[in-house]
Amino acid sequence: MKFYFIIATVLNFASFSVWADNAKSTLPLQFQQAMQNKNWDFANVCIDSMLQEAPYQDQLWYNKGVVYYQQHLLAESIACFQKAILLNPFNKDAKDNLLVAQSRLVDRLPNYFDFILLRWWKLLSSPYFHTYWAFTALGLWVLIGLSMYLPKALQTKKQFRIVKNSMLFLSICFFIMAYFSWSSLKNTTVFVVQSDQAMQYATPMSKLGTKVPYGTIVSVLERTPNWYKVALPNGVETWMQQQTLTKF
Amino acid sequence: MARSFLLWLFIVFSSWSAFAQQLVFSTQVGGEKMGIKDQLQVDYVLQNAQQIESLSPPNYTDFNIVGGPYQSSQSNIQMMGNRMVESKTITISYVLQPKHSGTCTVLGAIAKDAANHTYVSNAVSVQVVNGSLAQQRSSSRDPFGDDDQDPWAMMRQQMQQMQQLFSGRGRQQAPPSNQSAEEIKAPADLNKDVFIKVSVDKSSAYVGEQITTSYKLYTRLPMQMSISKLPSLNGFWTQDFELPKEMKPTEEIINGKKYQVFLLKKSALFPQQVGKLQLDPAEAKGLVRVVQKTKRANPFADDPFFSQFGSLFMGDPFFDNDLFSGMAYKDIPVTIASAPVSINVKEVPNTKKPISYTGAVGKFQFDVQLDKLSCSTDDALKLKLLIRGSGNLKLIEAPVFDLPKGLEKYDPVVIDSITGRTTAIEGFKEFEYALLPTAPGDYEIAPITFSYFNPATQQYESIVSQPIHLHVVLGKQLPTNKKVKLSQFHNYNRSINAQNPFYAFDHVWYWMIMLLVGLFLLIQLTKHKWQKMWSAWIDKRNNRSNRVALKRMKKAQVFLDQKQIELFYEEVSKAIWLYLSDKLTIDLASLSKEAALEKLAARQLEQKIIDNVTAVINDCEMALYAPSIAEHKMQQTYQDTIAIITHIENSKK
């Protein structure tokens, strides 16, 4: 048993070296050339091709946002920067550019739900931290396993048992966090309003309500074939027609 | 001449309904009466349909669908009299066969548009009789109308009645004029009577210079035409001029012939590349109605009255006039196309080209506006560069200019709009920059130069704006009025790769390691529990082996009393081997004398017991081959076996 445990530990640390680079593509170079030549359409095509390979690469979404910004497509640009931030909350360039792009909108809805605990939770459960949580949980398990080979006299002490049980509890917590951050990858879809839309409801007899400005990022709560129930940044929930939103 | 006018009027009135511009959804059938063996074509016609999303056919109860749906759409530019009407028509056709005779109803179809409005076409009743009426209907019909209402048919009928009245022999009916008439005039050369002509205001131009092009339809005949192909105009940025929806034709005389001219399309072309560019031909298809004179036999030739006085009357020009010669018309399908036109496109001159030239060609005005001349560092400013005029507006790039330090500039919002399309393409292009003053002070925005090439003077012209003075005071250093602190817009990231970040949960080996480590932990944490369970199980097995062995020995005692040697030794052998297997935890497959003795020795039993075990096993083996020899040892073997079991049980305790 001791032998197998050592093998597992060695495999664990050896596996870090498995992150080998894929074969290098010419697309990044083509993208750079397109950006230098201000050929925004082709740059967008290059980025889209790369995003098919790596849809969770925040830098690609950031660059796509820059391309849209250069094309004066503010709503699309905002959505791409937002997506880059969701994938990597520490992407400062994306944060800066998002502010610049949003500052150019005529109207914006205030964000009422940006309090600190929610921000922390969003940050800690973002996909960016997933691997940290996953390997911390694994490392704690390995430590607990190794501790079983300490002298019997030490193992019987109460303090040792408290430390061991705490480590076990923490490792389970980290594992749960890893799961949350991993599953939040699926929630990085960004919907952005494509034109100044009045709030509407999913019935033909609906009345027009407050205007939702162009470029507003909304989160989709519910879907019907033609209508989406969305949450606006100010916390208001409403129905909007599918064609008024663009998905990234 | 009078007849030509009547014919023209007839064509105008027969297609009067096409003038309507509202959406018209109708059901049209091939006839009101048909045979049960005939097939009926039903057309659901959507006129002026722009945004129809779906069309659902009805469930026919009286008909079977034998063909369709066949869809066709047509954009028509129709010349009706002195008016030109443009309309779009979508037709969905079905071929139906009646299920029964009597009155059958062709139900209306349902169409929906983008705004989810529903339109239902009218239902049409058809009288279905037994047999087939198809042959009766196969006679040629005038595509423009019903024979009953055809003035020319009525006229022919009147002439036939006159023939019969005056004819001496003639009770027999004259054959139809169209079939009997001898053609006296061949159709005219249609290409000279109907054609499309492309006219351009210049055949040589600079890149970006406006070329005005017109596609015109010239005709001398009544017709019904539709544009089948518009030119693609590759190599040009185009902007169409507005044409009135109902345009009156103009008249032009070409080679002494008067033509009616319809303007089909008028565009401003801005060439985007140097070289010889070609304007593709435009094509139109339709029917042209050609009027033909037909010569009839003299209706009075056989009359005795006229035969007597024939020489007197027949020389009269009255009998040679049109009354005795028929007028027939023929609809000829034609396809006409314009001739391709080449345009030589030159590069704008390189000499004296200003540095500030950004590709504008035309005639422009330039203005620079700043929304505030005094502000604080908390405010944002808007700098507008407005280019107004006629030319290649959409192709103009923003003029280049620098700002003094302390003023940050963001990428502009570009708005362009075409405001005039009557004689020249006019409009404006606006570049709106957001400026942020980062430090207080007095700034001067230097004059901004906008240069363009004027093809009229064939020279570059530059417009220089006035300098703008801006006074910036220190703000409150609070977040800006937009509640965000703006940073510089960052450019794209060069160090990118098409590789997803590492997500441990996506990798199998992560789960394998977790499983291994988890299992190890589980085993380690529950090791004592497992050990207890194992010893309990061993104890249970030992107890069971003792009981089983004693049971077998009781049976052996019965065989001993009965002196059944073979059965006795067989039972003793089973008892001792199974007991040793359970007690010493040796699998039956690997159970042997040596293995058993080795385990017994490991338990540190007395040598005497081990020897007894060997002796009992040997006795049992020997009894299988020589039962007579082992007979006297039966009692001894029995006692030794009991002693072995008892000793091993005691030694365990």
pLDDT digits (tens, 9 = 90+) for A218-229: 888 888 887 888
Mean pLDDT (whole number) for B327-334? 73
Tell me if A49 sits within 8 A of A60, measured CB to CB. Answer: no
Write the CATH number for B560.
1.20.120
Q: Which residues pair with A59 in a beta bridge?
A: none
**How many Cβ atoms from other residues are within 10 Å of residue A100's Cβ?**
23
User: Do B228 and B341 have their domain in common?
Assistant: yes
Write the CATH number for B117.
2.60.40.10
User: Do B187 and B313 have their domain in common?
Assistant: yes
The CA-atom distances, in angstroms, between A230 and each of A190, A211, B22, B439 are 11, 14, 38, 42
Give CA B223 to chain center in angstroms.
Answer: 36
**B518 against B418, higher pLDDT:** B518
CA dihedral of B260, B266, B271, B275, whole degrees rounded to 10: -10
Geometric angle at alpha carbon A17, from A13 and A22, rounded to 5°? 150
In a domain, B112, yes or no: yes
Mean pLDDT (whole number) for B188-195? 74
> Cα(B492)–Cα(B242) distance, rounded to whole angstroms?
42
3 state DSSP class of A154: helix
Whether B516 and A130 lie within 8 Å, measured CB to CB? no
Q: Read off the pLDDT of residues B603-613 as tens digits, 9 standing for 90 and up.
A: 887 888 888 88
**A196 against A10, higher pLDDT:** A196
**Model pLDDT, residue B117:** 76
User: Do B12 and B121 have their domain in common?
Assistant: yes
**Chain A window 140-199: which residues touch B at a Cβ cutoff of 8 Å?**
141-142, 144-145, 148, 178-179, 182, 185
Q: Give me the sign of the Cα torsion angle B480, B482, B485, B488.
A: negative
Q: Domain boundary residue among B139, B162, B194?
A: B139
Number of domains in chain B: 4
Whether B489 and A69 lie within 8 Å, measured CB to CB? yes
Residues of chain A with Cβ-Cβ distance to B514 below 8 Å are: 137-138, 141
Whether B517 and A8 lie within 8 Å, measured CB to CB? yes
Q: How many CB pairs under 8 A join A and B?
A: 146
User: Do B423 and B552 have their domain in common?
Assistant: no
User: Do B186 and B240 have their domain in common?
Assistant: yes
Residue matched to tokens 């509202």: B22
Q: Domain boundary residue among B319, B347, B375?
A: B347
Mean pLDDT (whole number) for A135-154? 87
Is residue B333 classed exposed, middle or buried when 0-12, 13-18 and 19+ CB atoms within 10 A define those classes? exposed
Which of these ranges, A29-43, B93-107, B168-182, has the smallest mean pLDDT?
B168-182
Tell me if B27 sits within 8 A of B40, measured CB to CB. Answer: no
User: Do B17 and B135 have their domain in common?
Assistant: yes
pLDDT above 70: percentage of residues in chain B: 75
Please give the residue of chain A at the shortest CA–CA distance from B509: A15
**Rounded to a whole number, what is the distance in Å from the CA of A222 to chain B's nearest CA?**
23
Residue A7: which pLDDT band, with cuts at 50, 70 and 90?
low
Which of these ranges, A18-27, A156-165, B18-27, B190-199, has the smallest mean pLDDT?
A18-27
**Model pLDDT, residue B157:** 45
Whether B492 and A130 lie within 8 Å, measured CB to CB? no
| Identity of the amino acid at A160 | F
Q: Read off the pLDDT of residues B8-67 as tens digits, 9 standing for 90 and up.
A: 434 433 334 334 356 778 888 877 778 887 888 888 888 776 666 677 778 888 888 877
| Identity of the amino acid at B459 | Q
Helices (H), B256-353: 304-308, 310-314
Q: Which two tokens stand for residue A117?
A: 């605990």
Whether A50 and B496 lie within 8 Å, measured CB to CB? yes
**How many Cβ atoms from other residues are within 10 Å of residue A212's Cβ?**
26
Q: Give me the sign of the Cα torsion angle B175, B177, B178, B181.
A: positive
In a domain, B9, yes or no: yes
**Model pLDDT, residue B27:** 86
Tell me if A76 sits within 8 A of A248, measured CB to CB. Answer: yes
Tell me if B393 sits within 8 A of B424, measured CB to CB. Answer: no
Q: Which domain holds residue B191?
A: 176-347
Is A135 at the interface with chain B, CB within 8 A?
Answer: yes
Q: Which residues pair with B253 in a beta bridge?
A: B258
Q: How many residues appear in chain B?
A: 653
Terminal Cα-to-Cα distance of chain B (whole angstroms): 141
| C-alpha closest to that of B30 among B129, B127, B149, B152 | B127
Mean of the per-residue pLDDT values of chain A: 80
Residue A81: which pLDDT band, with cuts at 50, 70 and 90?
very high
Residues B97-122: b if buried by 16+ CB within 10 A, e if exposed? bbeeeeebebbbbbbebeeeeebebe
Q: Read off the pLDDT of residues B335-351 as tens digits, 9 standing for 90 and up.
A: 888 888 888 998 888 88
User: Do B200 and B343 have their domain in common?
Assistant: yes
Q: Give me the sign of the Cα torsion angle B475, B481, B484, B489.
A: negative
> Cα(B403)–Cα(B381) distance, rounded to whole angstroms?
13
Task: Kindly report the CATH number that applies to the domain delimited by A25-103.
Answer: 1.25.40.10
Tell me if A25 sits within 8 A of A154, measured CB to CB. Answer: no
Class of domain A189-247: mainly beta
Whether A67 and B518 lie within 8 Å, measured CB to CB? no
CA dihedral of A27, A32, A34, A35, whole degrees rounded to 10: 140
3 state DSSP class of B213: strand
> Cα(B648)–Cα(B640) distance, rounded to whole angstroms?
12
3 state DSSP class of B474: coil
In a domain, B108, yes or no: yes
Among partner residues B497, B502, B524, which is closest to A28 by beta-carbon distance? Answer: B497
Residues of chain A with Cβ-Cβ distance to B495 below 8 Å are: 59
Whether B496 and A19 lie within 8 Å, measured CB to CB? no
Please give the residue of chain A at the shortest CA–CA distance from B497: A28
In a domain, B151, yes or no: no
User: Do B187 and B262 have their domain in common?
Assistant: yes
User: Do B538 and B404 have their domain in common?
Assistant: no
Please give the residue of chain B at the shortest CA–CA distance from A176: B505
* Phi, psi dihedral angles at B588 (to 5 degrees): -60, -35
Residues of chain B with Cβ-Cβ distance to A130 below 8 Å are: 503-505
User: Do B135 and B203 have their domain in common?
Assistant: no
**Model pLDDT, residue A114:** 63
Residue matched to tokens 């104890």: B539
> Cα(B176)–Cα(B39) distance, rounded to whole angstroms?
28
Whether A141 and B509 lie within 8 Å, measured CB to CB? no
**Rounded to a whole number, what is the distance in Å from the CA of A63 to chain B's nearest CA?**
5
**Model pLDDT, residue B476:** 61
**Model pLDDT, residue B366:** 92
**How many Cβ atoms from other residues are within 10 Å of residue A243's Cβ?**
10
User: Do B396 and B340 have their domain in common?
Assistant: no
Strands B449-454 and B357-370: parallel
User: Do B465 and B367 have their domain in common?
Assistant: yes
| C-alpha closest to that of A84 among A106, A54, A114, A113 | A54
Among partner residues B482, B518, B523, which is closest to A103 by beta-carbon distance? Answer: B482
B448 contacts: CB under 8 Å, gap ≥ 6: B368, B385, B399, B401, B464, B465
| C-alpha closest to that of B49 among B69, B21, B77, B8 | B21
**Rounded to a whole number, what is the distance in Å from the CA of A220 to chain B's nearest CA?**
24
Please give the residue of chain B at the shortest CA–CA distance from A33: B494
Q: Domain boundary residue among B116, B139, B162?
A: B139
